[in-house]
Amino acid sequence: MKKVFQNAKLQVKMKGQDNPEGVTRTLSNVAENLTDAQIAIIKNFMQAITNDAVSEMKQTVANKLEMEPASAE
């Protein structure tokens, strides 16, 4: 059995004057292993285009399993 990377998403929760409770924005198809520098770039970009503040970020990685057939003995 082998684990193969399939997909990654980044959920960004943002709060602001128009969204005091916060709103979650999802970015699909991000890299599997984001660095701290890449996360900082995304955070700064999202804050710049929305005028909201990032309150939380969470990455979800989905993998698929490739199973090899059992050998017949």
In the chain, the number of structural domains is 1
pLDDT of residue 3: 76
Q: Report yes or no on 53 lying in a domain.
A: yes
In a domain, 24, yes or no: yes
Residue ranges making up the domain that contains 47: 2-61
Whole-prediction pTM: 0.72
Q: Is residue 23 part of a domain?
A: yes
pLDDT in tens, 10-68: 999 999 998 899 999 999 999 888 999 999 999 999 999 998 999 999 999 888 877 77
| Measured CA distances, 1 to 4, 5, 39, 47 (Å) | 10, 13, 31, 41
Q: How many CA atoms lie within 13 A of 41 on its CB side?
A: 6
